[in-house]
Chain A
Amino acid sequence: GNSVTQMEGPVTLSEEAFLTINCTYTATGYPSLFWYVQYPGEGLQLLLKATKADDKGSNKGFEATYRKETTSFHLEKGSVQVSDSAVYFCALSDRGDDKIIFGKGTRLHILP
């Protein structure tokens, strides 16, 4: 079945460091891919998405490129801030069941 695997956390970085959170997926067909972010005590917010191969999603300085050949959708940011501390979820759309399947989440801590 369809699934998402993302790097386990927590990931701890200093402010202004470069961020990469790895995400790979298994899917039949051509799913849409997402990154969601969950700040402490809140629900999930859609951070960015890509709907087809080679698409790049971007928002708030974060980027991810839909790589069909490597079945990956790694999240990157050039210079993180303390306010980026949160849990990040990689996800894909399961078109057969019309639902979104999430990875287990990666907790990110940014130190001032």
Chain B
Amino acid sequence: EAGVTQSPTHLIKTRGQQATLRCSPISGHTSVYWYQQALGLGLQFLLWYDEGEERNRGNFPPRFSGRQFPNYSSELNVNALELEDSALYLCASSSQGADYGYTFGSGTRLTVV
């Protein structure tokens, strides 16, 4: 069974540009979660999508947005990139919700220069 896959592995963007990160959940998982792991800050919850709808978002500005497609894959968009957006962005999926834990992908390393 394929795990959670994320692409690209690495992404380098210039300040002010837009970044698009992609995630494919485990087959059968309808929920996708996005987290930001910035250096020294641990994992910060970004967004939760389930059945194509945004269910919850963390304390991030509106320039962080995303969507979930009918096949449950998901996209995270970051507009007007700032240097402090440089981080590892992790996607996770679940079929049973937070109580049972998530399965994480390997992440996309975003570097803003």
User: Could you tell me if A46 and B102 are in contact, using CB atoms closer than 8 angstroms?
Assistant: yes
CB <8 Å contact, B98 and A104:
no
- Contact, CB under 8 Å: A89 / B43: yes
Q: Does B72 contact A (CB under 8 A)?
A: no
Given the interface pairs A42-B106, A43-B90, A98-B48, the reply to whether A34 lies near B43 with Cβ below 8 Å is: no
Task: Using CB atoms, name the residue of chain A closest to B47.
Answer: A99
Asked if B45 contacts A43 (CB within 8 A), the reply is no
Output the residue of B4, B90, B104 with the most chain A CB within 10 A: B104
B101 near A98: Cβ-Cβ < 8 Å: no
Number of interface residues of A (CB under 8 A): 25
Which residues of chain A from 27 to 66 have a CB within 8 Å of any chain B CB?
31-32, 34, 36, 41-46, 49, 51
Question: Smallest CB–CB gap between B70 and chain A, Å?
Answer: 22
- Interface residue tally of chain B, by bracket? 20 to 34
**B56 partner residues in chain A, CB cutoff 8 A:** 97-99
Complex CA distance for A43 and B104, rounded to whole angstroms: 6
Is A11 part of the binding interface, using a Cβ–Cβ cutoff of 8 Å? no
Check if A85 is an interface residue, CB within 8 A of chain B: no
Collect the chain B residues with CB atoms within 8 Å of residue A44's CB: 43, 90, 92, 104
Contacts of B58 on A, CB cut-off 8 Å?
A: 99
Interface residues of A (CB under 8 A from B): 31-32, 34, 36, 41-46, 49, 51, 89, 93-95, 97-105
List the interface of chain B (C-beta within 8 A of A).
4, 6, 33, 35, 41-43, 45, 48, 55-56, 58, 90, 92, 97-107
